[in-house]
Amino acid sequence: MATLLHIDSSVLPVSASASRSLAELFRATWLEQHPEGTVVHRDLAVHPVSHLTAAAHHAGYLDPARHDGEQAAAFAERKELIEELEAADAVLIGAPMYNLSVPSTLKAWIDNVVLIGRTALGAATLQGKHVTVVTSRGGAYGPGTPREGYDYVQNYLEGVFGMMLGMEIEFIVPELTGAPVDPAMAELLPLYEASRSRTREEATALAERLAARLGEAA
């Protein structure tokens, strides 16, 4: 029985959020294909995790038996987040672009789960695990656009999940989400609509493919 860890970080509700609604579509498709599966949902916008502290950082590199009271308390949350990620068979993350990067709540979660010697850089606990990232943005950052080169979400997450954690990462990128609400973007509405249809198809196809793969592995 496979477990999907689903993480949201948009500050907006599902009715107004591209990343939340696509992640919901992915999750519903995955459950349809995989009715005996389990979804663990973590909403970082509603329940932010702690920022890393010196005590939580140092505790990560010490034998738990040697933790002092402050380190033990600080490491408890980190351990829970790492164990939740390690226990998942696949991961789904909603990561809207905020000021060219990821929401700070997602960055705080990443700083907690990346632990050299356990999850990161040569360690194998997350090796090969699949992560799907839905990264919505108000504008467009692809080749040939005026903002090409200013997307610090995909490159950053590729580095963290791919290079540091050894995970297999795939992106779903709904763009130009500002077009329906910003009159200055009215001429981009057809491109927004095309992106919306394409990403809905991608979310469905990827969830089906992943569910089939996890089903075969079970």
Ligand X SMILES: Cc1cc2nc3c(=O)[nH]c(=O)nc-3n(C[C@H](O)[C@H](O)[C@H](O)COP(=O)(O)O)c2cc1C
Residues 150-209 interacting with ligand X (rule: CB under 6 A): 177
Number of residues that bind ligand X (CB under 6 A): 16
Between residues 83 and 182, which has the closer beta carbon with respect to ligand X? 182
Least Cβ distance, residue 137 to ligand X (angstroms): 4
Least Cβ distance, residue 157 to ligand X (angstroms): 15
Q: Is 96 in the site for ligand X (CB under 6 A)?
A: yes
Sheet containing 130-134: order of strands:
38-43, 3-8, 90-94, 130-134, 168-172
Between CA 23 and CA 45 the distance in angstroms is: 15
Least Cβ distance, residue 112 to ligand X (angstroms): 22
Least Cβ distance, residue 13 to ligand X (angstroms): 9
Between CA 65 and CA 41 the distance in angstroms is: 31
Cα distances (angstroms) measured from residue 76 to each of 52, 84, 146: 12, 12, 45
Q: Is 137 in the site for ligand X (CB under 6 A)?
A: yes
Q: Is 19 in the site for ligand X (CB under 6 A)?
A: yes
Sign of torsion, CA 149 150 154 157?
A: positive
- 4 three-state secondary structure: strand
Interface residues with ligand X (CB under 6 A) are: 10, 12, 17-20, 96-100, 136-139, 177
